[in-house]
Amino acid sequence: MEQIVKKYEKDGLTVYWKPNTCTHAGKCVKGSPKVFDVNRRPWVKLDEDSIEHIMEVIDRCPSGALSYEKK
């Protein structure tokens, strides 16, 4: 099965989300609900928080479905 990877970008930060890897633990939604909102499309809106806080929240993702690259 091919791995789907969604990509979101803001100010040198690229966030990757692998929906098939996600276990829906909710750490992202609880950590930054304005950025990660499952009721919105797209569900990731990076303009809603600081890059530093977004990276901290992504680092807590237990499944590794969320990752990032900082340029």
User: Which tens digit of pLDDT belongs to each residue from 39-65?
Assistant: 999 999 999 999 999 999 999 999 999
Its pTM surpasses 0.85:
yes
Question: Is pLDDT above 90 for 3?
Answer: no
pLDDT of residue 2: 75
Question: Is pLDDT above 70 for 25?
Answer: yes
Domain count, the chain: 1
Residue 31 backbone phi and psi in degrees, to 5: -75, -35
Q: Are strands 13-17 and 6-10 parallel, antiparallel or unpaired?
A: antiparallel
For position 26, which CATH number holds? 3.30.70.20
**Mean pLDDT score, 22-35:** 97
Give CA–CA dist 13/15, Å, rounded.
6
pLDDT of residue 1: 60
In a domain, 1, yes or no: no
